[in-house]
A = this chain, B = another copy of it.
Amino acid sequence: MTVVALAGGVGAARLLRGLVQVVAPSDVTAVVNTGDDTELHGLHISPDLDTVCYTLAGRNDESRGWGLRHETWTAMDALEELGGETWFRLGDSDLATHLYRTQRMSEGAPLSTVTAEIAERMGVAVRLLPMTDEPVRTWLRLVSDQREVPFQDYFVRLRHSVAVSAVRFDGADRAAPAPGVVEAIDGAEVVVISPSNPVVSIGPILAMPAITAALRRRRDQVVAVSPLVGGAALKGPADRLLVELGEEASSAGVARRYTEVCGTLVIDERDRADEESVAALGMRCVVAPTVMSGPGEAAALAKVALEAGRTHGSGKRP
Protein backbone atom coordinates (compact mmCIF):
# COMPACT_ATOMS: atom_id res chain seq x y z
CA MET A 1 0.00 0.00 0.00
CA THR A 2 1.16 3.51 -0.72
CA VAL A 3 1.32 5.96 2.15
CA VAL A 4 2.09 9.67 2.43
CA ALA A 5 3.14 11.14 5.76
CA LEU A 6 3.17 14.85 6.39
CA ALA A 7 6.18 15.33 8.60
CA GLY A 8 7.86 17.71 10.96
CA GLY A 9 10.87 16.55 12.95
CA VAL A 10 11.17 14.09 15.83
CA GLY A 11 7.54 12.96 16.20
CA ALA A 12 7.23 12.40 12.47
CA ALA A 13 10.55 10.58 12.30
CA ARG A 14 9.38 8.17 14.98
CA LEU A 15 6.10 7.47 13.26
CA LEU A 16 7.92 6.97 9.95
CA ARG A 17 10.18 4.46 11.66
CA GLY A 18 6.98 2.67 12.64
CA LEU A 19 5.46 2.95 9.18
CA VAL A 20 8.43 1.33 7.47
CA GLN A 21 7.94 -1.71 9.66
CA VAL A 22 4.42 -2.29 8.41
CA VAL A 23 4.63 -0.92 4.84
CA ALA A 24 7.38 -1.34 2.25
CA PRO A 25 9.67 1.69 2.77
CA SER A 26 9.69 2.45 -0.94
CA ASP A 27 5.88 2.79 -0.82
CA VAL A 28 6.15 5.56 1.78
CA THR A 29 6.53 9.22 0.86
CA ALA A 30 7.30 11.77 3.55
CA VAL A 31 6.33 15.36 2.73
CA VAL A 32 8.52 17.31 5.10
CA ASN A 33 8.19 20.80 6.55
CA THR A 34 10.82 23.26 5.36
CA GLY A 35 9.48 26.30 7.19
CA ASP A 36 12.18 25.63 9.81
CA ASP A 37 14.95 25.84 7.22
CA THR A 38 17.57 28.43 7.90
CA GLU A 39 20.75 29.88 6.46
CA LEU A 40 23.56 29.97 8.99
CA HIS A 41 27.25 30.57 8.36
CA GLY A 42 26.32 30.56 4.66
CA LEU A 43 24.95 27.03 4.91
CA HIS A 44 21.46 25.90 4.00
CA ILE A 45 20.13 23.92 6.93
CA SER A 46 16.95 21.83 6.74
CA PRO A 47 16.42 20.55 10.29
CA ASP A 48 13.24 18.55 9.73
CA LEU A 49 14.48 16.89 6.56
CA ASP A 50 17.67 15.95 8.38
CA THR A 51 15.88 14.62 11.46
CA VAL A 52 13.68 12.41 9.31
CA CYS A 53 16.57 11.28 7.13
CA TYR A 54 18.96 10.57 9.99
CA THR A 55 16.25 8.69 11.90
CA LEU A 56 15.26 6.52 8.95
CA ALA A 57 18.94 5.84 8.31
CA GLY A 58 19.23 4.69 11.93
CA ARG A 59 21.88 7.30 12.55
CA ASN A 60 20.00 9.80 14.72
CA ASP A 61 21.02 10.50 18.28
CA GLU A 62 18.13 9.19 20.28
CA SER A 63 19.00 10.70 23.64
CA ARG A 64 19.94 14.17 22.38
CA GLY A 65 16.84 14.20 20.18
CA TRP A 66 18.51 15.78 17.15
CA GLY A 67 21.59 15.35 15.00
CA LEU A 68 23.74 12.31 14.45
CA ARG A 69 24.88 9.60 16.82
CA HIS A 70 28.61 9.42 17.66
CA GLU A 71 28.84 13.08 16.72
CA THR A 72 31.91 15.22 17.46
CA TRP A 73 31.95 18.99 18.00
CA THR A 74 35.38 20.12 16.88
CA ALA A 75 34.13 22.78 14.47
CA MET A 76 31.68 24.20 17.04
CA ASP A 77 34.38 24.32 19.71
CA ALA A 78 36.70 26.17 17.32
CA LEU A 79 33.87 28.48 16.29
CA GLU A 80 33.25 29.25 19.93
CA GLU A 81 36.92 30.14 20.36
CA LEU A 82 36.53 32.53 17.43
CA GLY A 83 33.56 34.17 19.13
CA GLY A 84 31.21 32.91 16.44
CA GLU A 85 27.54 32.07 16.78
CA THR A 86 27.22 28.62 18.28
CA TRP A 87 23.68 28.62 19.64
CA PHE A 88 22.68 26.44 16.71
CA ARG A 89 24.88 23.40 17.28
CA LEU A 90 26.27 21.80 14.15
CA GLY A 91 28.21 18.60 14.73
CA ASP A 92 31.17 17.77 12.52
CA SER A 93 29.41 14.97 10.64
CA ASP A 94 26.16 16.89 10.49
CA LEU A 95 28.07 19.79 8.94
CA ALA A 96 28.87 17.59 5.97
CA THR A 97 25.16 17.34 5.17
CA HIS A 98 24.87 21.12 5.13
CA LEU A 99 28.07 21.56 3.11
CA TYR A 100 26.78 19.04 0.58
CA ARG A 101 23.32 20.59 0.38
CA THR A 102 24.66 24.12 0.06
CA GLN A 103 27.17 23.18 -2.61
CA ARG A 104 24.58 21.32 -4.69
CA MET A 105 22.04 24.13 -4.35
CA SER A 106 24.68 26.68 -5.36
CA GLU A 107 25.11 24.58 -8.50
CA GLY A 108 21.39 24.98 -9.15
CA ALA A 109 20.06 21.67 -7.85
CA PRO A 110 16.63 22.07 -6.21
CA LEU A 111 16.26 21.07 -2.57
CA SER A 112 14.14 18.05 -3.56
CA THR A 113 16.93 16.68 -5.77
CA VAL A 114 19.56 17.22 -3.09
CA THR A 115 17.30 15.62 -0.49
CA ALA A 116 16.89 12.54 -2.67
CA GLU A 117 20.66 12.34 -3.15
CA ILE A 118 21.36 12.53 0.57
CA ALA A 119 18.65 9.98 1.37
CA GLU A 120 20.01 7.57 -1.23
CA ARG A 121 23.55 7.93 0.08
CA MET A 122 22.30 7.25 3.59
CA GLY A 123 20.40 4.19 2.44
CA VAL A 124 16.96 5.62 3.14
CA ALA A 125 14.38 3.91 0.94
CA VAL A 126 11.49 6.14 2.01
CA ARG A 127 10.92 8.88 -0.53
CA LEU A 128 11.70 12.15 1.22
CA LEU A 129 10.17 15.24 -0.33
CA PRO A 130 10.54 18.76 0.99
CA MET A 131 7.09 20.34 0.95
CA THR A 132 8.48 22.83 -1.58
CA ASP A 133 11.70 23.69 -3.38
CA GLU A 134 10.98 27.37 -2.84
CA PRO A 135 11.83 29.36 0.26
CA VAL A 136 9.05 29.29 2.85
CA ARG A 137 10.03 30.58 6.25
CA THR A 138 8.22 30.41 9.56
CA TRP A 139 8.19 33.61 11.61
CA LEU A 140 6.87 33.99 15.14
CA ARG A 141 5.78 37.23 16.75
CA LEU A 142 6.87 37.48 20.37
CA VAL A 143 4.44 38.78 22.98
CA SER A 144 7.25 40.47 24.92
CA ASP A 145 8.21 43.10 22.37
CA GLN A 146 6.03 42.30 19.36
CA ARG A 147 9.20 41.50 17.43
CA GLU A 148 9.02 38.84 14.70
CA VAL A 149 11.76 36.22 14.85
CA PRO A 150 12.62 33.36 12.48
CA PHE A 151 11.72 29.89 13.65
CA GLN A 152 15.18 28.77 14.77
CA ASP A 153 15.63 31.94 16.82
CA TYR A 154 12.43 31.05 18.64
CA PHE A 155 12.98 27.34 18.86
CA VAL A 156 16.71 27.00 19.52
CA ARG A 157 18.11 30.36 20.55
CA LEU A 158 15.19 31.30 22.80
CA ARG A 159 14.49 27.62 23.59
CA HIS A 160 10.81 28.25 22.79
CA SER A 161 10.40 29.60 26.30
CA VAL A 162 8.77 32.85 25.20
CA ALA A 163 5.14 33.58 24.50
CA VAL A 164 4.04 34.02 20.90
CA SER A 165 1.17 36.10 19.58
CA ALA A 166 1.22 35.13 15.91
CA VAL A 167 2.80 32.73 13.44
CA ARG A 168 3.39 33.45 9.80
CA PHE A 169 4.64 31.20 7.00
CA ASP A 170 6.34 33.62 4.69
CA GLY A 171 6.12 32.53 1.07
CA ALA A 172 3.76 29.61 1.68
CA ASP A 173 0.86 31.15 -0.23
CA ARG A 174 2.85 31.49 -3.44
CA ALA A 175 5.26 28.52 -3.21
CA ALA A 176 4.65 25.54 -5.46
CA PRO A 177 4.76 22.12 -3.83
CA ALA A 178 7.93 20.19 -4.67
CA PRO A 179 7.61 17.89 -7.69
CA GLY A 180 5.67 14.79 -6.72
CA VAL A 181 4.03 16.12 -3.57
CA VAL A 182 0.53 16.60 -4.93
CA GLU A 183 0.77 13.44 -7.04
CA ALA A 184 1.83 11.45 -3.98
CA ILE A 185 -1.14 12.72 -1.98
CA ASP A 186 -3.50 12.06 -4.86
CA GLY A 187 -2.22 8.52 -5.26
CA ALA A 188 -1.80 7.47 -1.65
CA GLU A 189 -4.10 4.93 -0.07
CA VAL A 190 -3.66 6.66 3.26
CA VAL A 191 -2.24 10.05 4.14
CA VAL A 192 -0.97 10.34 7.71
CA ILE A 193 -0.47 13.67 9.43
CA SER A 194 2.35 12.86 11.83
CA PRO A 195 2.23 13.72 15.54
CA SER A 196 4.32 16.81 14.92
CA ASN A 197 3.62 20.30 16.18
CA PRO A 198 0.33 21.26 14.47
CA VAL A 199 1.23 24.96 14.50
CA VAL A 200 4.85 25.20 13.40
CA SER A 201 5.59 21.78 11.87
CA ILE A 202 2.42 20.76 10.08
CA GLY A 203 1.21 24.38 9.87
CA PRO A 204 3.65 25.42 7.13
CA ILE A 205 2.69 22.41 4.99
CA LEU A 206 -1.02 23.20 5.33
CA ALA A 207 -0.30 26.85 4.55
CA MET A 208 0.46 25.84 0.97
CA PRO A 209 -2.82 26.10 -0.98
CA ALA A 210 -2.02 23.37 -3.50
CA ILE A 211 -1.25 20.88 -0.73
CA THR A 212 -4.37 21.75 1.25
CA ALA A 213 -6.46 21.39 -1.91
CA ALA A 214 -4.97 17.94 -2.55
CA LEU A 215 -5.61 16.86 1.04
CA ARG A 216 -9.19 18.10 0.88
CA ARG A 217 -9.79 15.83 -2.10
CA ARG A 218 -8.60 12.88 0.00
CA ARG A 219 -10.08 13.94 3.34
CA ASP A 220 -11.55 10.50 4.07
CA GLN A 221 -8.14 8.87 3.69
CA VAL A 222 -6.32 11.47 5.74
CA VAL A 223 -5.58 10.42 9.32
CA ALA A 224 -3.87 12.72 11.81
CA VAL A 225 -2.14 11.54 14.96
CA SER A 226 -2.43 14.04 17.79
CA PRO A 227 0.90 15.04 19.28
CA LEU A 228 -0.76 15.72 22.64
CA VAL A 229 -0.87 13.14 25.41
CA GLY A 230 -3.06 14.03 28.34
CA GLY A 231 -3.42 17.49 26.83
CA ALA A 232 0.32 18.15 26.85
CA ALA A 233 3.11 17.94 24.31
CA LEU A 234 5.60 15.16 25.04
CA LYS A 235 8.31 17.56 24.00
CA GLY A 236 8.42 21.04 22.54
CA PRO A 237 5.93 23.88 22.64
CA ALA A 238 2.92 22.44 20.77
CA ASP A 239 0.58 22.76 23.76
CA ARG A 240 1.72 26.28 24.66
CA LEU A 241 1.59 27.49 21.06
CA LEU A 242 -1.97 26.23 20.66
CA VAL A 243 -3.05 28.14 23.76
CA GLU A 244 -1.09 31.26 22.87
CA LEU A 245 -2.75 31.35 19.47
CA GLY A 246 -6.22 31.14 21.02
CA GLU A 247 -6.76 27.42 20.66
CA GLU A 248 -7.10 24.91 23.46
CA ALA A 249 -4.34 22.41 24.22
CA SER A 250 -6.53 19.39 23.72
CA SER A 251 -7.53 16.83 21.13
CA ALA A 252 -10.28 19.23 20.04
CA GLY A 253 -7.72 22.01 19.69
CA VAL A 254 -5.64 19.81 17.40
CA ALA A 255 -8.73 18.60 15.56
CA ARG A 256 -9.83 22.14 14.78
CA ARG A 257 -6.47 22.72 13.05
CA TYR A 258 -7.06 19.74 10.78
CA THR A 259 -10.78 19.34 10.30
CA GLU A 260 -10.82 20.82 6.82
CA VAL A 261 -8.27 18.38 5.38
CA CYS A 262 -8.50 15.35 7.62
CA GLY A 263 -11.28 12.81 8.31
CA THR A 264 -9.83 10.97 11.30
CA LEU A 265 -7.90 11.96 14.40
CA VAL A 266 -6.02 9.38 16.46
CA ILE A 267 -5.80 10.50 20.08
CA ASP A 268 -4.06 8.98 23.04
CA GLU A 269 -5.81 6.75 25.52
CA ARG A 270 -5.22 9.36 28.18
CA ASP A 271 -7.36 11.79 26.15
CA ARG A 272 -10.24 9.35 25.72
CA ALA A 273 -12.58 11.93 27.30
CA ASP A 274 -12.02 14.15 24.23
CA GLU A 275 -13.62 11.63 21.85
CA GLU A 276 -16.93 13.40 21.74
CA SER A 277 -15.53 16.88 21.25
CA VAL A 278 -13.49 15.62 18.28
CA ALA A 279 -16.52 13.90 16.79
CA ALA A 280 -18.49 17.10 17.25
CA LEU A 281 -16.07 18.75 14.83
CA GLY A 282 -17.00 16.27 12.13
CA MET A 283 -13.98 14.03 12.51
CA ARG A 284 -13.84 10.36 13.33
CA CYS A 285 -11.89 9.77 16.49
CA VAL A 286 -9.73 6.73 17.13
CA VAL A 287 -8.31 6.13 20.59
CA ALA A 288 -4.98 4.32 20.83
CA PRO A 289 -1.65 4.35 22.67
CA THR A 290 0.28 7.10 20.88
CA VAL A 291 3.48 7.31 22.89
CA MET A 292 6.20 5.79 20.68
CA SER A 293 8.70 4.77 23.34
CA GLY A 294 10.27 2.25 20.99
CA PRO A 295 10.04 0.70 17.52
CA GLY A 296 7.31 -1.68 18.63
CA GLU A 297 5.04 1.10 19.84
CA ALA A 298 5.77 3.10 16.69
CA ALA A 299 4.82 0.18 14.45
CA ALA A 300 1.62 -0.40 16.43
CA LEU A 301 0.65 3.26 16.13
CA ALA A 302 1.43 3.24 12.41
CA LYS A 303 -0.86 0.23 12.01
CA VAL A 304 -3.67 2.02 13.85
CA ALA A 305 -3.31 5.08 11.62
CA LEU A 306 -3.22 3.06 8.41
CA GLU A 307 -6.15 0.95 9.50
CA ALA A 308 -8.15 4.08 10.31
CA GLY A 309 -7.43 5.53 6.85
CA ARG A 310 -8.38 2.30 5.12
CA THR A 311 -11.48 1.56 7.15
CA HIS A 312 -12.92 4.99 7.03
CA GLY A 313 -11.73 5.80 3.55
CA SER A 314 -13.13 4.30 0.38
CA GLY A 315 -10.81 1.33 0.74
CA LYS A 316 -9.75 1.96 -2.82
CA ARG A 317 -8.04 4.85 -4.43
CA PRO A 318 -10.69 7.14 -5.84
Residues in chain B near residue A76, CB distance under 8 A: 96
Residues in chain B near residue A75, CB distance under 8 A: 75, 92-93, 95-96, 99
CB of A43 within 8 Å of the partner chain: yes
Chain A contact residues, majority secondary structure: helix
Count chain A residues whose beta carbon lies closer than 8 angstroms to a beta carbon of B.
Answer: 35
A75 CA to B102 CA, complexed, in Å: 14
Closest Cβ–Cβ distance, residue A294 to chain B (whole Å):
27
CB of A72 within 8 Å of the partner chain: yes
Closest Cβ–Cβ distance, residue A205 to chain B (whole Å):
26
Copies in the complex: 2
Binding site for B on A (CB under 8 A): 39-44, 72, 74-79, 81-85, 90, 92-100, 102-103, 106, 117-118, 121-122
Residues in chain B near residue A84, CB distance under 8 A: 96, 99-100, 103
Q: List 30 A-B contacts (CB under 8 A).
A: A39-B106, A40-B103, A41-B99, A41-B100, A41-B102, A42-B42, A42-B44, A42-B99, A42-B103, A42-B106, A43-B102, A75-B92, A75-B93, A75-B96, A76-B96, A77-B93, A77-B96, A78-B94, A79-B99, A82-B97, A82-B100, A82-B117, A82-B118, A82-B122, A83-B100, A83-B117, A84-B100, A92-B92, A92-B95, A95-B95
